[in-house]
Structure 1
Amino acid sequence: MKVPDHIEVRGARIHNLKDIDVDIPLNKVVGIAGVSGSGKSSLALGTLYSEGSRRYLEALSTYTRRRMTQASRSEVDDVRYVPAALALHQRPGVPGIRSTFGTSTELLNSIRLMFSRLANHRCPNGHYLEPSINFAGMLEIRCPVCGAEVSPPSAEELAFNSTGACRECNGTGVIQEVDETTLVPDENKTIDEGAVAPWQTLMWSLMKDIARDMGVRTDVPFKELTEKERWIVFHAPAEKKHLLYYNEKSGNAGEM
């Protein structure tokens, strides 16, 4: 049987297309040109993409199709030899910090489903299990080597916006760290003299009193603080403190 070398479109009549027939080469870069309103987008998106993506999704299980955006049937008599299709819009939405090619095209949804259903999964004792129909059906699975129960990850658990996110970067691909030298640019100053730069703004001045209450000396040069005192300044956990606050500018005192 001869391998098709073109897509056959017959009777396309969506929007500006008036019952047209056209053959489009396969395995080539093809451009669709024409004046405004001639039906370029109707042919590319409303016909080719619509039919290609719809037929691909129809080949998947009902469970899988419920989790993916489905295109409606195109107004066309027949489209033959159209492959699975992806559409990249001319004006993509404003990307977020976790946006990728996979998220913008929804290709990532299919990849996550494939990895959750078709991949080799590992039992709690480190034995690898071959893919099976039980994985695809999310049924109870036990390791044939040690008998341990295996719970393969769902597609949602492989998403980097949820539990599948890297614990180091939270799914952003970037690890943010604070440069401590920018927080204390001059270690010859004491905390009372303004050694910790962010603490010089309104309300942050309270941090001096909190640090003092937690055992940090605020009247000695910052470079002379112990490692414990420096750790309290840079990394101490949030704790509720009851203290008396003195406003140096107004001379008023308050209880917080």
Structure 2
Amino acid sequence: MDDCIAIRGARQHNLRNLDLDLPLHTWITVTGVSGSGKSSLAFDTIYAEGQRRYVETFSPYARQFLDRMDKPQADRIDGIPPAIAIDQTNPVRSSRSTVGTMSELNDHLKLVFARLARLYCRSCGRLVQRDTPETIVEQLLRAVEPGAAPPTIRILFTVEVPDNFTADEVAGFLRQQGYDRIQRQAGRRFEVIQDRLRLEPGRRGRLTESLEAALSRGQGRITVCRESAAGEPGEPLRFSTGLHCAACDIAYRDPTPSLFSFNSPIGACPTCRGFGRTIGIDYGLVIPDDRLSLEGGAIKPFQTPSYAECRADLLKAARRRGLDTRRPWRELSDADREWVLQGQGMDAWERGEWYGVKGFFDWLESKSYKMHIRVLLSRYRAYGLCPACGGARLKPEALWWKIGDPEPRSIRDLMQMPLGRCLEFFKTLVLPASHDEAARQLLGEIRTRLGYLVEVGLDYLTLDRQSRTLSGGEVQRINLTTALGTSLVNTLFVLDEPSI
């Protein structure tokens, strides 16, 4: 039969010459008491034969890199398609693996942000976009109030004096090119007037030509000033043809997909290397009981005879400061607690001042080549959120790029969003007409995969949830949606006790 899997004489494990026909393109459930041979039939016979035959289609060189299963004991198995087994085990132990990486949604998201995201300035928060002469003209004309007299504007570009020229030589070169009007000279920088004209629709052609010339000579950056009634230049408007915030004078780089991946050195936070956490001193372990005072032993590592001198230094410095050493730690002011922990500066030890609990542990770090010091440090260390990225795992540059309106979202915002809300976000995301068909297909693939995850009941998970914290059933559902997201056809799926 062409429409079924025909098994004849299956003898794998506790199967006894089983003959069975399993119809294709349907859902089949194998049930029975413990030890009846369910796994022997489903995994050790059907899946093993399907996987073995699929692997044998590869070259001998490729097969050496693939897991291969033994041929099941059976007289004959016909009509079996390539098989995929999805069990409930969670073999993942790496903290780099997340729901996003398992479902391959991270790979799609980094492409979406590289293609569709818009840049927001890290300083002023404004949208950073490339200006063209046409967009500058439209923006300037829109700023003119209806019915008001057309204002006079100046179009300026900046010229930096090279190190091998003097300012007078550069000014002479500018005069030779017809630029006699210099609005201002600040050190080795000239602000040159490209044109001065009235801002009205009838002069659109001249305005566009002047802007093009100024952008060409100003290396893509220009300034436009309105003149006051007295002829003085007003507040400048800055424009740029590159990824450059003209208001803050900050230049940015074009994004790449690797910038949005914490598994790439290009995008990973350099402090935590993409893990989102760093190991350091946990002051909750250093001061485990906040009911104790400084004299009563609030600082735990100072209570041993080896470091009694540090305790004496602390009490002596505290009395000089006027700090009540008998007051419980919880009742001390924030300033006093900060003083105890951080001390009085980097060189406090040399000045005879209090070096702080932090300074004490920094000194221990310098002695960590000794075994007993490493053991002592391990008692007070713990993992915490990375102070540089705050757990985002990415460099700050990746978080300046956002998608969506009216509330733009960074890739970190989407990673921390429950899958149900994330699906609603992408369903309402509208692409401008300027984007190509590839971007639309990419967005459709994200919606499909998120839809699968929500349909199998995982709408409460987030994309940055670590895989090693998932249950076996959650891992199985994610693996199933990953396989479904690949749009495989004529494939046999073997699921171990599915909870879907």
Q: What's the TM-score bracket when you normalise by the shorter of the two chains?
A: 0.3 to 0.5
Larger relative helix fraction: 2
| Larger RCO (CA under 8 A, 6+ residues apart) | 2
Judging by fraction of residues, say which structure has more strand: 2
TM-score of the superposition, structure 2-length normalised?
0.24
| TM-score computed with the length of structure 1 as normaliser | 0.44
- Of structures 1 and 2, the larger Rg is shown by 2
